[in-house]
Amino acid sequence: MTIKNMNYHLFRIAKILNEHEYQNVIDISKKLTISPSTVMDALKELESYRFPFQHSKSQGYRLAYAITWLSERSIRSKLGSIKEKYMIELIETTESTNTDLVLRSQSTDVELVPTVRVAELQTKGRGRRGRFWLSGLGSSLTFSVMRTLKLPPKEISGLSLAVGVSVITALEKLGGTEFYLKWPNDIIRKNKKIGGVLVEVGKITPLETSIIIGIGINVRGYHLIDDSISLSASDLYSGGINLDRNLILSSIIVELDQVLIQFSDHGFEALRESWQRRHYYENKLVQLILNNQKNLLGLVKGVTSRGALRIEKSGQIIEFTVGEISLREVNKN
Protein backbone atom coordinates (compact mmCIF):
# COMPACT_ATOMS: atom_id res chain seq x y z
CA MET A 1 0.00 0.00 0.00
CA THR A 2 1.61 3.28 -1.04
CA ILE A 3 0.57 6.72 0.08
CA LYS A 4 -1.36 8.73 -2.47
CA ASN A 5 -0.11 12.24 -3.20
CA MET A 6 3.16 11.85 -1.32
CA ASN A 7 5.89 14.03 -2.75
CA TYR A 8 7.90 11.82 -5.10
CA HIS A 9 11.16 13.38 -3.90
CA LEU A 10 10.40 13.22 -0.18
CA PHE A 11 12.96 10.58 0.74
CA ARG A 12 15.65 11.99 -1.58
CA ILE A 13 15.32 15.33 0.19
CA ALA A 14 15.21 13.78 3.66
CA LYS A 15 18.35 11.79 2.90
CA ILE A 16 20.31 14.73 1.53
CA LEU A 17 20.07 16.56 4.85
CA ASN A 18 22.74 16.02 7.48
CA GLU A 19 23.40 17.17 11.02
CA HIS A 20 26.59 19.14 10.25
CA GLU A 21 25.71 21.85 7.76
CA TYR A 22 22.62 23.85 6.90
CA GLN A 23 21.49 23.66 3.28
CA ASN A 24 19.05 26.09 1.78
CA VAL A 25 16.24 25.33 -0.63
CA ILE A 26 18.25 26.45 -3.66
CA ASP A 27 21.23 24.24 -2.70
CA ILE A 28 18.96 21.24 -2.34
CA SER A 29 17.07 21.91 -5.56
CA LYS A 30 20.33 22.18 -7.51
CA LYS A 31 21.78 19.01 -6.02
CA LEU A 32 18.67 17.02 -6.87
CA THR A 33 17.85 18.90 -10.10
CA ILE A 34 14.30 19.62 -9.04
CA SER A 35 12.45 22.91 -8.63
CA PRO A 36 12.71 24.97 -5.42
CA SER A 37 8.93 24.78 -5.01
CA THR A 38 9.07 20.98 -5.06
CA VAL A 39 11.74 21.14 -2.35
CA MET A 40 9.60 23.54 -0.29
CA ASP A 41 6.55 21.27 -0.60
CA ALA A 42 8.57 18.24 0.43
CA LEU A 43 10.06 20.02 3.44
CA LYS A 44 6.56 20.95 4.60
CA GLU A 45 5.47 17.38 4.17
CA LEU A 46 8.52 16.14 6.11
CA GLU A 47 7.51 18.38 8.98
CA SER A 48 4.08 16.78 9.05
CA TYR A 49 5.80 13.38 9.37
CA ARG A 50 7.70 14.66 12.42
CA PHE A 51 11.04 14.47 10.66
CA PRO A 52 13.72 15.69 13.09
CA PHE A 53 15.17 18.65 11.23
CA GLN A 54 15.92 22.22 12.18
CA HIS A 55 15.25 25.35 10.20
CA SER A 56 17.12 28.64 10.34
CA LYS A 57 15.66 31.45 8.24
CA SER A 58 19.10 32.69 7.25
CA GLN A 59 20.87 29.35 6.76
CA GLY A 60 18.36 26.72 5.70
CA TYR A 61 17.77 23.20 6.94
CA ARG A 62 19.76 20.54 8.76
CA LEU A 63 19.10 17.43 10.83
CA ALA A 64 18.65 17.87 14.57
CA TYR A 65 20.78 14.75 15.07
CA ALA A 66 22.39 12.07 12.91
CA ILE A 67 20.03 9.49 11.43
CA THR A 68 21.04 6.06 10.23
CA TRP A 69 18.59 5.05 7.55
CA LEU A 70 17.31 1.50 7.51
CA SER A 71 19.07 -0.96 5.24
CA GLU A 72 18.15 -4.56 4.53
CA ARG A 73 21.79 -5.57 4.34
CA SER A 74 22.54 -4.03 7.69
CA ILE A 75 19.49 -5.59 9.35
CA ARG A 76 20.29 -9.03 7.95
CA SER A 77 23.97 -8.85 8.85
CA LYS A 78 23.06 -8.57 12.54
CA LEU A 79 20.66 -11.51 12.65
CA GLY A 80 23.34 -14.10 13.45
CA SER A 81 22.11 -17.69 13.07
CA ILE A 82 18.68 -16.63 11.78
CA LYS A 83 20.18 -14.53 9.00
CA GLU A 84 18.40 -16.46 6.25
CA LYS A 85 15.22 -17.33 8.14
CA TYR A 86 13.15 -14.25 7.34
CA MET A 87 12.20 -12.48 4.18
CA ILE A 88 12.93 -8.82 4.92
CA GLU A 89 10.78 -6.27 3.16
CA LEU A 90 12.06 -2.76 3.71
CA ILE A 91 9.71 -0.18 2.27
CA GLU A 92 9.77 3.59 2.36
CA THR A 93 6.19 4.08 3.35
CA THR A 94 2.88 2.39 3.99
CA GLU A 95 -0.22 3.06 6.04
CA SER A 96 0.38 0.11 8.36
CA THR A 97 2.79 -2.80 8.06
CA ASN A 98 0.36 -4.92 10.10
CA THR A 99 -2.56 -4.17 7.77
CA ASP A 100 -0.39 -5.09 4.77
CA LEU A 101 0.56 -8.48 6.21
CA VAL A 102 -2.89 -9.33 7.61
CA LEU A 103 -4.41 -8.70 4.16
CA ARG A 104 -1.70 -10.72 2.47
CA SER A 105 -2.04 -13.59 4.89
CA GLN A 106 -5.82 -13.76 4.48
CA SER A 107 -5.81 -13.51 0.72
CA THR A 108 -3.34 -16.15 -0.38
CA ASP A 109 -3.29 -19.92 -0.64
CA VAL A 110 0.45 -19.96 -1.07
CA GLU A 111 2.47 -21.06 1.97
CA LEU A 112 3.48 -17.98 3.96
CA VAL A 113 7.17 -17.50 4.58
CA PRO A 114 8.42 -15.89 7.81
CA THR A 115 8.48 -12.21 6.94
CA VAL A 116 9.64 -8.97 8.51
CA ARG A 117 8.02 -5.92 6.92
CA VAL A 118 9.56 -2.66 8.05
CA ALA A 119 8.56 0.83 6.95
CA GLU A 120 10.60 3.98 7.28
CA LEU A 121 7.32 5.84 7.49
CA GLN A 122 4.01 4.45 8.65
CA THR A 123 1.15 6.88 8.16
CA LYS A 124 -1.79 5.05 9.77
CA GLY A 125 -0.28 2.93 12.52
CA ARG A 126 -2.85 1.15 14.64
CA GLY A 127 -3.12 0.37 18.37
CA ARG A 128 -5.59 -1.81 20.21
CA ARG A 129 -9.32 -1.44 19.60
CA GLY A 130 -9.13 1.16 16.87
CA ARG A 131 -6.56 3.34 18.60
CA PHE A 132 -3.74 4.93 16.62
CA TRP A 133 0.04 4.58 16.79
CA LEU A 134 2.05 7.61 15.71
CA SER A 135 5.60 7.48 14.48
CA GLY A 136 8.18 9.91 13.21
CA LEU A 137 10.19 9.55 10.04
CA GLY A 138 13.78 8.64 10.93
CA SER A 139 13.10 8.60 14.68
CA SER A 140 10.93 5.52 15.15
CA LEU A 141 10.84 1.86 14.32
CA THR A 142 7.62 0.47 12.86
CA PHE A 143 7.60 -3.11 11.69
CA SER A 144 5.61 -6.32 11.61
CA VAL A 145 6.66 -9.93 11.76
CA MET A 146 4.52 -12.61 10.12
CA ARG A 147 4.89 -16.22 11.21
CA THR A 148 2.79 -19.34 11.01
CA LEU A 149 2.62 -21.11 14.36
CA LYS A 150 1.58 -24.73 14.72
CA LEU A 151 -1.09 -23.73 17.21
CA PRO A 152 -4.85 -23.26 16.87
CA PRO A 153 -6.03 -19.64 17.40
CA LYS A 154 -7.33 -20.35 20.91
CA GLU A 155 -3.76 -21.14 21.98
CA ILE A 156 -2.55 -17.69 20.90
CA SER A 157 -3.74 -15.81 23.99
CA GLY A 158 -0.80 -14.43 25.90
CA LEU A 159 1.24 -13.95 22.73
CA SER A 160 1.24 -10.14 22.90
CA LEU A 161 2.64 -10.36 26.43
CA ALA A 162 5.28 -12.83 25.25
CA VAL A 163 6.28 -10.41 22.49
CA GLY A 164 6.73 -7.71 25.15
CA VAL A 165 9.27 -9.95 26.90
CA SER A 166 11.28 -10.22 23.69
CA VAL A 167 11.32 -6.44 23.18
CA ILE A 168 12.40 -5.75 26.78
CA THR A 169 15.08 -8.44 26.64
CA ALA A 170 16.52 -6.91 23.47
CA LEU A 171 16.49 -3.41 24.98
CA GLU A 172 18.22 -4.65 28.13
CA LYS A 173 20.90 -6.40 26.10
CA LEU A 174 21.46 -3.17 24.18
CA GLY A 175 22.24 -1.43 27.46
CA GLY A 176 18.88 0.25 28.07
CA THR A 177 17.81 0.99 31.61
CA GLU A 178 14.49 1.15 33.41
CA PHE A 179 12.36 -0.28 30.65
CA TYR A 180 9.25 -2.07 31.86
CA LEU A 181 6.08 -3.68 30.58
CA LYS A 182 2.56 -2.54 31.18
CA TRP A 183 -0.22 -5.04 30.78
CA PRO A 184 -1.16 -5.99 28.18
CA ASN A 185 0.88 -4.52 25.35
CA ASP A 186 2.89 -1.43 26.27
CA ILE A 187 6.63 -0.99 26.65
CA ILE A 188 7.23 1.83 29.09
CA ARG A 189 9.97 3.80 30.77
CA LYS A 190 9.23 5.74 33.95
CA ASN A 191 5.58 5.09 33.32
CA LYS A 192 5.75 6.69 29.88
CA LYS A 193 5.15 4.74 26.73
CA ILE A 194 8.08 4.08 24.43
CA GLY A 195 6.53 1.29 22.41
CA GLY A 196 3.51 -0.84 21.73
CA VAL A 197 2.72 -4.32 20.44
CA LEU A 198 -0.26 -5.30 18.32
CA VAL A 199 -0.79 -9.01 17.60
CA GLU A 200 -3.29 -9.89 14.91
CA VAL A 201 -4.37 -13.15 13.34
CA GLY A 202 -4.21 -13.82 9.59
CA LYS A 203 -4.96 -17.12 7.86
CA ILE A 204 -6.22 -19.90 10.13
CA THR A 205 -6.29 -23.66 9.53
CA PRO A 206 -7.40 -26.22 12.16
CA LEU A 207 -3.81 -26.79 13.29
CA GLU A 208 -1.98 -23.62 12.33
CA THR A 209 -2.41 -19.90 12.83
CA SER A 210 -0.71 -17.20 10.89
CA ILE A 211 0.10 -14.38 13.27
CA ILE A 212 1.15 -10.83 12.51
CA ILE A 213 3.08 -9.09 15.26
CA GLY A 214 3.27 -5.32 14.93
CA ILE A 215 5.82 -3.39 16.96
CA GLY A 216 6.16 0.39 17.14
CA ILE A 217 9.00 2.02 19.06
CA ASN A 218 9.96 5.63 19.71
CA VAL A 219 13.69 5.67 19.10
CA ARG A 220 14.43 9.34 19.59
CA GLY A 221 12.49 12.58 19.66
CA TYR A 222 9.28 11.52 21.35
CA HIS A 223 8.52 15.20 21.98
CA LEU A 224 8.07 15.57 18.25
CA ILE A 225 5.36 12.99 18.21
CA ASP A 226 2.27 14.95 19.09
CA ASP A 227 1.32 17.48 21.71
CA SER A 228 -1.55 15.34 22.90
CA ILE A 229 0.62 12.35 23.77
CA SER A 230 4.12 13.73 24.27
CA LEU A 231 3.58 14.01 28.03
CA SER A 232 2.83 10.32 28.29
CA ALA A 233 5.50 9.22 25.82
CA SER A 234 9.23 8.62 26.03
CA ASP A 235 11.91 7.05 23.86
CA LEU A 236 14.89 4.72 23.77
CA TYR A 237 17.28 7.65 23.71
CA SER A 238 16.07 8.79 27.16
CA GLY A 239 16.68 5.25 28.39
CA GLY A 240 20.32 5.24 27.35
CA ILE A 241 19.98 3.63 23.93
CA ASN A 242 21.50 5.75 21.21
CA LEU A 243 22.17 3.15 18.55
CA ASP A 244 21.71 2.49 14.87
CA ARG A 245 18.04 1.62 14.26
CA ASN A 246 19.14 -1.36 12.14
CA LEU A 247 20.86 -2.87 15.17
CA ILE A 248 17.87 -2.23 17.43
CA LEU A 249 15.55 -3.85 14.91
CA SER A 250 17.79 -6.91 14.39
CA SER A 251 18.20 -7.36 18.15
CA ILE A 252 14.43 -7.40 18.64
CA ILE A 253 13.93 -9.88 15.79
CA VAL A 254 16.54 -12.22 17.29
CA GLU A 255 14.85 -12.16 20.72
CA LEU A 256 11.39 -12.43 19.19
CA ASP A 257 12.44 -15.50 17.24
CA GLN A 258 13.56 -17.17 20.49
CA VAL A 259 10.39 -16.19 22.31
CA LEU A 260 8.23 -17.60 19.51
CA ILE A 261 10.01 -20.96 19.83
CA GLN A 262 9.33 -21.01 23.58
CA PHE A 263 5.75 -19.87 23.08
CA SER A 264 5.05 -22.51 20.41
CA ASP A 265 6.55 -25.30 22.51
CA HIS A 266 5.29 -24.40 25.99
CA GLY A 267 2.80 -21.52 25.67
CA PHE A 268 2.95 -18.28 27.62
CA GLU A 269 3.59 -20.22 30.84
CA ALA A 270 7.26 -20.51 29.81
CA LEU A 271 7.54 -16.71 29.75
CA ARG A 272 5.19 -15.80 32.56
CA GLU A 273 7.85 -15.29 35.22
CA SER A 274 10.00 -13.15 32.87
CA TRP A 275 6.97 -11.05 32.09
CA GLN A 276 5.93 -10.53 35.72
CA ARG A 277 9.46 -9.53 36.69
CA ARG A 278 9.25 -6.70 34.19
CA HIS A 279 5.70 -5.62 34.96
CA TYR A 280 5.85 -2.06 36.22
CA TYR A 281 2.62 -2.51 38.18
CA GLU A 282 3.33 -5.82 39.89
CA ASN A 283 1.97 -5.64 43.46
CA LYS A 284 0.90 -2.05 42.91
CA LEU A 285 -2.51 -0.48 43.33
CA VAL A 286 -4.05 0.25 39.94
CA GLN A 287 -7.22 1.58 38.47
CA LEU A 288 -8.92 -0.55 35.85
CA ILE A 289 -11.15 1.06 33.27
CA LEU A 290 -13.70 -1.55 32.32
CA ASN A 291 -15.67 -1.81 29.07
CA ASN A 292 -18.76 -0.37 30.74
CA GLN A 293 -16.64 2.67 31.69
CA LYS A 294 -16.80 1.72 35.37
CA ASN A 295 -13.58 1.90 37.36
CA LEU A 296 -12.22 -0.65 39.74
CA LEU A 297 -9.31 -0.34 42.14
CA GLY A 298 -7.19 -3.34 42.97
CA LEU A 299 -3.74 -4.79 43.55
CA VAL A 300 -1.90 -6.41 40.64
CA LYS A 301 -1.06 -10.02 41.45
CA GLY A 302 0.65 -11.28 38.32
CA VAL A 303 -0.84 -12.83 35.22
CA THR A 304 -2.27 -16.27 34.46
CA SER A 305 -0.63 -18.84 32.19
CA ARG A 306 -2.82 -17.45 29.38
CA GLY A 307 -1.84 -13.83 29.99
CA ALA A 308 -4.94 -12.66 31.90
CA LEU A 309 -4.29 -9.99 34.53
CA ARG A 310 -4.85 -11.07 38.16
CA ILE A 311 -6.27 -8.36 40.41
CA GLU A 312 -6.80 -8.71 44.13
CA LYS A 313 -9.88 -6.92 45.37
CA SER A 314 -11.30 -7.36 48.87
CA GLY A 315 -9.20 -10.48 49.38
CA GLN A 316 -10.38 -12.14 46.17
CA ILE A 317 -8.58 -12.60 42.85
CA ILE A 318 -10.39 -11.44 39.72
CA GLU A 319 -8.98 -12.27 36.27
CA PHE A 320 -9.20 -9.93 33.28
CA THR A 321 -8.46 -11.06 29.78
CA VAL A 322 -6.70 -8.98 27.13
CA GLY A 323 -9.14 -6.69 25.37
CA GLU A 324 -11.55 -6.18 28.22
CA ILE A 325 -9.91 -3.35 30.13
CA SER A 326 -7.30 -0.61 30.32
CA LEU A 327 -4.99 -0.23 33.27
CA ARG A 328 -3.95 3.07 34.79
CA GLU A 329 -1.66 3.98 37.64
CA VAL A 330 -3.40 5.23 40.76
CA ASN A 331 -2.33 8.80 41.39
CA LYS A 332 -0.06 8.68 44.41
CA ASN A 333 -0.75 12.28 45.46
Closer by beta carbon to ligand ATP, 193 or else 220: 193
Task: Pick the closest to residue 200 from 104, 68, 278 (CA basis).
Answer: 104
In whole angstroms, give the CA distance from residue 202 to residue 212: 7
Least CB distance to ligand ATP at residue 142 (A): 9
Q: Which stretch binds ligand ATP (CB under 6 A): 127-135, 166-174, 206-214, 256-264?
A: 127-135
Least CB distance to ligand ATP at residue 322 (A): 9
Determine if 133 is a binding residue for ligand ATP (CB under 6 A): yes
| End-to-end CA gap in the chain | 47
Least CB distance to ligand ATP at residue 280 (A): 12
Determine if 321 is a binding residue for ligand ATP (CB under 6 A): no
Task: Pick the closest to residue 184 from 269, 298, 330, 308 (CA basis).
Answer: 308
Q: How far is CA 110 from CA 36, 102, 104, 107, 124, in A?
A: 47, 14, 10, 9, 27
User: Which residues between 224 and 243 bind ligand ATP (CB under 6 A)?
Assistant: 225, 229, 233
Report the half-sphere exposure of 63 (CA within 13 A, side-chain side): 18
Options 36, 114, 127, 240; binder of ligand ATP; rule CB under 6 A = 127
Rounded to 10 degrees, the C-alpha dihedral 60/65/69/74 comes to 150
Least CB distance to ligand ATP at residue 148 (A): 25
User: Which residues between 175 and 214 bind ligand ATP (CB under 6 A)?
Assistant: 185-186, 193, 196
Closer by beta carbon to ligand ATP, 22 or else 65: 65
Q: Per-residue x/- mask for ligand ATP, residues 4 to 43, rule CB under 6 A?
A: ----------------------------------------
Q: Which stretch binds ligand ATP (CB under 6 A): 12-20, 108-116, 128-136, 237-245?
A: 128-136
With a CB cutoff of 8 Å and minimum separation 6, the contacts of 281 are 182, 183, 300, 327, 329
Residue 99 CB coordination number (10 Å): 19
In whole angstroms, give the CA distance from residue 218 to residue 139: 7
Determine if 132 is a binding residue for ligand ATP (CB under 6 A): yes
Task: Pick the closest to residue 327 from 221, 203, 218, 180 (CA basis).
Answer: 180
Determine if 221 is a binding residue for ligand ATP (CB under 6 A): no
CB-based closest residue to ligand ATP:
127
Closer by beta carbon to ligand ATP, 192 or else 272: 192
User: Which residues between 91 and 120 bind ligand ATP (CB under 6 A)?
Assistant: none
Chain-centre distance of CA 331, in angstroms?
27
Residue 120 CB coordination number (10 Å): 22
**Interface with ligand ATP by CB under 6 A: which residues?**
127-128, 131-135, 185-186, 193, 196, 218, 225, 229, 233, 326-327
